[in-house]
Structure 1
Amino acid sequence: MKEGPDIARVAALIGDPARANMLTALMSGRALTATELALEAGVTAQTASSHLAKLHEGGILAARKQGRHRYFTIGNPDIVDLLETLMGIAQRTGHNRVRTGPRDPALRKARICYDHLAGEMGVTLFEKLQQHQVVEFDDVGDIRLTRQGATFIEGFGLDLAEMRQLRRPLCRECLDWSMRRSHLAGALGAGLLQRMLDLGWARRLNDSRVIDFTPAGEKAFYDLFLALPSN
């Protein structure tokens, strides 16, 4: 009898096309109902319920009831990391969706990856934070916030003490499927995106992962992060 983690079980749960479509939809970071996920997967409500039960039982999804509806979200950040990595592999190996549309360029420019900024602007953000020593890699290859970075982040209006109390890494590197380079995830990545939204620099488009920056917001983004002072 084989011992250790059963990766085949996890792969089978994620690999079904209908379930993969549901999980991709949940990468928007929104909690969705079974009816909404059935539409995303292109299956009947009954079939969707069966798929969702398997994903929930397998620990891939979390569920909560509010009023008459039951809402589903991705179970934990590790699943988000796995899905984004799989998207990158699919992109690099040519396994892309046949259906394309006018949102594709917008998705590549700026999109939400669960709760942080991805796409061209997400990769640019991460690169500039490294160039200006806001974040850096430590001796074992983990990304961390520097002392001068902490000053900058708090000056941008984020509560570092609160973020450090969360049950997730403060900084984490996440491979971007469209850019094939990394963007910033973790509590800091999520906090930076939420702050941009709160400032009105950008908004999340309905029924999409697109983060739509206003002209003024995009200018503010580049003015701030491209012009950071460095030592």
Structure 2
Amino acid sequence: MGQHNISSVAHLIAEPVRSVILITLADGSAMSAGALAEAAGVTAQTASSHLSKLLDGGLLSVESKGRHRYYRLAGAHVSHVLESLASVGPVTPAWRTTPNRSAQALRFARCCYDHLAGQISIAVTQSMLTRGFVVEAGERHYALTPPGCAWLQQLGIDIGDLAVGQAEQGRQCLDWTERQYHLAGPLGARLMDAFLAWGWMRRSPATRSVTVTALGWEGLRKHFGVERETCGPD
């Protein structure tokens, strides 16, 4: 990528209103211009101007449904950029110890585009590594092992084209609040879909935060060895 492209993208992301819009969409959702204007605290006209620039810059896509237009990130690669930028520099002690419940909820569990992030995701990833279900493979990747494949099938997860040993099926995503890698890529997305389908977790309708249900804590303890008492807040 040329210097011009890097500077152009950086300029688009750096503007405060546009950064809020992008972060609001970082869970993979699609939202109207009005909803994004409200999230960013600006007028509809101002939001429209910023949305046009993000579309022209290739960071957003838009789809029309009837009279309404809905915006979403142009792809997972945009979410990866946002998470990577957030991970640059130290997480301040104030952020880690903040009494703000919304911030605590995001640190504990949140959507990172199509996969799980936060403290609970780190615990799940470490469990899979410890149990030999995935192994580190090459630079910033995880590979599914034969025991891991069998285990996922026993859980009822359709592994589909997730071939054993292929590193591109699991990606190491640097968690910006924990400074550790969590599982992303197709394998991370399959797990997130399963957690939601089983009722183990619920996505917040208003933020990127994810709530673990009572059924989820039971399943996480049984299948991942992740205990509620040692893994953060409710």
- TM-score clears 0.5: yes
Question: Residues 70-149 of structure 1 correspond to what in structure 2 (within 5 A)?
Answer: 70-89=69-88, 92=91, 101-149=100-148
TM-score normalised by the chain length of structure 1? 0.87
Q: How many residues align?
A: 220
Name the SS of the counterpart of 2:35 in structure 1.
helix
CA positional deviation for 1:222? 2.3
Instruction: Name the residue aligned to 2:11.
Output: 12
Instruction: Name the residue aligned to 1:215.
Output: 214
CA contact (8 A) 1:91 1:178 kept: no
**What are the Cα deviations for residues 116-175 of structure 1, in whole angstroms up to 9, with x where unaligned?**
1111100111111111111112245532111221111222222222567xxxx4211111
Which residue identity lines up with residue 171 of structure 1 in the other structure? G
Pairwise CA RMSD? 2.3
Identity across matched positions, percent: 37
Name the SS of the counterpart of 1:143 in structure 2.
strand
Which residue identity lines up with residue 217 of structure 1 in the other structure? G
Which residue identity lines up with residue 121 of structure 1 in the other structure? I
CA contact (8 A) 1:108 1:119 kept: yes
CA contact (8 A) 1:116 1:192 kept: yes
The alpha-carbon distance between structure 1 residues 30 and 131, as it changes in their structure 2 partners (threshold 3 A), is same
CA positional deviation for 1:61? 0.7
Higher alpha-carbon deviation: 37-46 or 16-25:
37-46
CA contact (8 A) 1:107 1:119 kept: yes
CA contact (8 A) 2:202 2:210 kept: yes
How far apart are the structure 2 equivalents of 1:26 and 1:139?
Answer: 30
The alpha-carbon distance between structure 1 residues 29 and 69, as it changes in their structure 2 partners (threshold 3 A), is same
Higher alpha-carbon deviation: 8-17 or 213-222:
213-222
How far apart are the structure 2 equivalents of 1:110 and 1:221?
Answer: 14
The alpha-carbon distance between structure 1 residues 131 and 57, as it changes in their structure 2 partners (threshold 3 A), is same
How far apart are the structure 1 equivalents of 2:92 and 2:68?
Answer: 39
Gaps of 5+ in 1: none
Instruction: Name the residue aligned to 1:150.
Output: 149
**What are the Cα deviations for residues 80-117 of structure 1, in whole angstroms up to 9, with x where unaligned?**
11101112225536897xx9732222211111111111
CA contact (8 A) 2:27 2:113 kept: yes
Gaps of 5+ in 2: 227-234
**What are the Cα deviations for residues 25-66 of structure 1, in whole angstroms up to 9, with x where unaligned?**
001221111111111111111111111111111110111111
Higher alpha-carbon deviation: 107-116 or 139-148:
139-148
Instruction: Name the residue aligned to 1:62.
Output: 61
